[in-house]
């Protein structure tokens, strides 16, 4: 587990640096995203659709305000198209990160963690904890991209990763896009309530997941001690 945490912290720092760089340079901020989508809406719905998909895909390389993009996508495109754009853009980022790290991640990992035993232990740890992390990754920025990269790096099966990703992403994007579609500039409360609800549910999920895993670990340790005593 220590090796898994070490690698995940390294990835988190790498993704966080892109977020800080973007903020420092004043690019990909919420105000910029809103301006781009407003400008795109004066051209055509297809342009807005393309901008939403592109921004969510870019999230793989530079952290962007995902929830804001999805809500605004729903506002400008309506629920159906907004939801579709959100899913396509998020899928491109998630499966792009998975594919990149599945292809080149092993070599990069070998340079960071030179001991094959530790790398094997990391894979086992992610196999045990990864599903919950992927499902609940929308609780915070960076986590979706980080877990996708970890899934590829540890060579989690594509179908298995896709299933966990869909379970965690589809309802999140659906609620956000719908909230945007029923919000207006005069009444932004549906979008605000949706944002609070989504973050609240995800963080509650993390809390329950963490306590469940801790209880399970304690039970396993107790069983090991009992077996050793016998």
With bands split at pLDDT 50, 70 and 90, how would you rate the model's confidence at 1? low
The mean of the pLDDT values for the chain is: 81
Mean pLDDT of 86-106: 93
Q: What is the pLDDT of residue 225?
A: 46
Q: How far apart are CA 84 and CA 98, in angstroms?
A: 21
Q: Write the pLDDT tens digit of every residue in 133-165.
A: 898 888 777 888 889 998 998 889 999 999 999
* Residue where the block lists tokens 């605000």: 192
Helix (H/G/I), strand (E/B), else coil: 196: helix
Q: Is the predicted pLDDT of residue 67 greater than 90, yes or no?
A: no
**Which pTM does this prediction carry?**
0.80
> How many other CB atoms sit within 10 Å of the CB of residue 71?
28
Q: What is the pLDDT of residue 230?
A: 47
* Residue where the block lists tokens 């379970």: 167
Q: How far apart are CA 172 and CA 147, in angstroms?
A: 16
146 class by beta-carbon count within 10 Å (0-12 exposed, 13-18 middle, 19+ buried) = buried
Q: Write the pLDDT tens digit of every residue in 160-192.
A: 999 999 998 998 899 899 989 988 766 667 777
| H and E: helices and strands count for the chain | 9, 0
Tell me if 201 sits within 8 A of 174, measured CB to CB. Answer: no
Helix (H/G/I), strand (E/B), else coil: 13: helix
Q: How far apart are CA 141 and CA 132, in angstroms?
A: 16
C-alpha of 83 from chain center: 16
224 class by beta-carbon count within 10 Å (0-12 exposed, 13-18 middle, 19+ buried) = exposed
With bands split at pLDDT 50, 70 and 90, how would you rate the model's confidence at 61? confident
Q: What is the pLDDT of residue 133?
A: 87
* Residue where the block lists tokens 């903020």: 23
Q: What is the pLDDT of residue 224?
A: 45
What does the block give as tokens for 76?
A: 């400008």
| DSSP label at residue 154 | T
| Sign of the alpha-carbon torsion through 95, 96, 101, 102 | positive
Tell me if 75 sits within 8 A of 40, measured CB to CB. Answer: no
Q: What is the pLDDT of residue 222?
A: 46
């Amino acid at each position: 587990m220590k090796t898994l945490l070490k690698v995940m912290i390294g990835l988190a720092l790498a993704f966080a640096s892109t977020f800080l760089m973007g903020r420092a340079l004043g690019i990909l901020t919420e105000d910029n995203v809103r301006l781009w989508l407003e400008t795109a809406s004066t051209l055509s719905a297809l342009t807005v659709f393309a901008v939403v998909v592109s921004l969510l895909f870019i999230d793989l390389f530079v952290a962007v305000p995902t929830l804001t993009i999805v809500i605004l996508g729903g506002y400008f495109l309506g629920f159906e198209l907004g939801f579709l754009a959100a899913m396509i853009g998020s899928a491109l980022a998630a499966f792009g990160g998975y594919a990149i790290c599945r292809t080149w991640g092993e070599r990069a990992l070998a340079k960071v963690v030179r001991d094959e035993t530790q790398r094997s232990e990391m894979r086992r740890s992610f196999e045990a904890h990864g599903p919950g992390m992927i499902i609940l990754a929308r609780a915070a920025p960076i986590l979706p991209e980080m877990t996708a990269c970890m899934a590829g790096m540890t060579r989690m099966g594509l179908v298995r990763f896709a299933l966990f990703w869909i379970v965690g992403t589809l309802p999140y994007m659906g609620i956000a896009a719908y909230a945007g579609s029923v919000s207006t500039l005069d009444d932004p409360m549906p979008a605000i309530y949706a944002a609070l609800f989504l973050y609240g549910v995800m963080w509650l999920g993390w809390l329950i997941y963490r306590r469940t895993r801790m209880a399970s670990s304690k039970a396993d340790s107790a069983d090991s001690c009992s077996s050793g005593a016998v």
